[in-house]
């Protein structure tokens, strides 16, 4: 007869991956999602230690932002791309939560993080949410919320249109694509709050800008931004 621990281990393997999402090497018992060498090699920006930093500068002259940061540099054909691909297209929600937790730990020493009232992930349209089954930004936001002990709000901001994929668009096209994409139906819920908007990757910032604009229509609100990855333009 098979020992119970072996059966339990095999059942666990059904739910948790046994190979590294970035390099494919087999994971050791104490490793989660990525092997230790891949976790170490993930390219941290440490932008949260600089003010102003390149993320904040990307929004200069566009919308008033209190603070902003990204955890990793986004480079194509690297570990971070593999990880984000797994989170977005391979149903690996847990990796997003784990990345959010790790980002949360990095941010614990930031004074400004204590000013935040609520964490809001960039919402998906109903149609997109239905086809993917989950919102990848909400996974990151959950991990952040857990470590920073700040409540998460997924009901106050809605995405009213299903915007097209922006990967091959120019900056002007991206701005047009996300214009009026978001809605804050009951702005009273955000009244006077400092909102931390969360997204997976920062490229031109047009999606975050469009969403932040809508939130800032609620009286006396402030916005800070976090993204997991930062794409160099």
Residue 38 burial by CB count (10 A; 0-12/13-18/19+): exposed, middle or buried? Answer: buried
Q: Interaction with Zn ion in 9-38: which residues (CB under 5 A)?
A: 20, 22-23, 25, 35, 38
Which residues 6+ apart lie within 8 Å of 208 measured at CB? 59, 122, 197, 199, 202, 225, 227
Interface with Zn ion: number of residues (CB under 5 A): 6
**Closest distance of CB 17 from Zn ion, Å:** 11
**Closest distance of CB 230 from Zn ion, Å:** 21
**Residue 33 or 182 with smaller CB distance to Zn ion:** 33
**Closest distance of CB 31 from Zn ion, Å:** 9
- Residue 171: C-alpha distances to residues 31, 113, 227 (Å): 40, 30, 19
86 is a site residue for Zn ion (CB under 5 A): no
**Closest distance of CB 102 from Zn ion, Å:** 15
42 is a site residue for Zn ion (CB under 5 A): no
Which residues 6+ apart lie within 8 Å of 98 measured at CB? 32, 33, 143
Binding site for Zn ion (CB under 5 A): 20, 22-23, 25, 35, 38
């Amino acid at each position: 007869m098979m020992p119970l621990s072996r059966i339990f281990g095999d059942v666990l393997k059904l739910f948790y991956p046994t190979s590294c999402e970035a390099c494919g090497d087999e994971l050791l018992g104490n490793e989660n999602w990525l092997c230790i060498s891949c976790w170490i090699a993930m390219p941290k920006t440490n932008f949260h230690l600089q003010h102003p930093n390149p993320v904040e500068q990307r929004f200069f002259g566009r919308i008033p932002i209190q603070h902003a940061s990204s955890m990793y540099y986004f480079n194509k054909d690297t570990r971070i791309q593999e990880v984000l691909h797994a989170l977005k297209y391979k149903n690996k929600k847990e990796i997003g939560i784990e990345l959010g937790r790790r980002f949360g730990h990095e941010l614990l020493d930031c004074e400004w993080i204590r000013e935040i009232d609520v964490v809001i992930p960039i919402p998906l349209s109903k149609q997109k949410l239905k086809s993917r089954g989950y919102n990848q930004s909400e996974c990151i936001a959950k991990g952040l919320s857990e470590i920073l002990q700040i409540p998460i709000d997924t009901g106050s901001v809605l995405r009213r249109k299903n915007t097209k994929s922006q990967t091959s668009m120019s900056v002007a096209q991206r701005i047009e694509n996300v214009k009026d994409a978001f809605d804050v139906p009951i702005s009273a819920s955000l009244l006077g709050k400092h909102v931390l908007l969360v997204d997976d990757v920062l490229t031109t910032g047009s999606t975050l800008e469009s969403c932040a604009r809508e939130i800032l229509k609620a009286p006396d609100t402030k916005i800070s931004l976090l993204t997991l990855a930062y794409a160099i333009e």
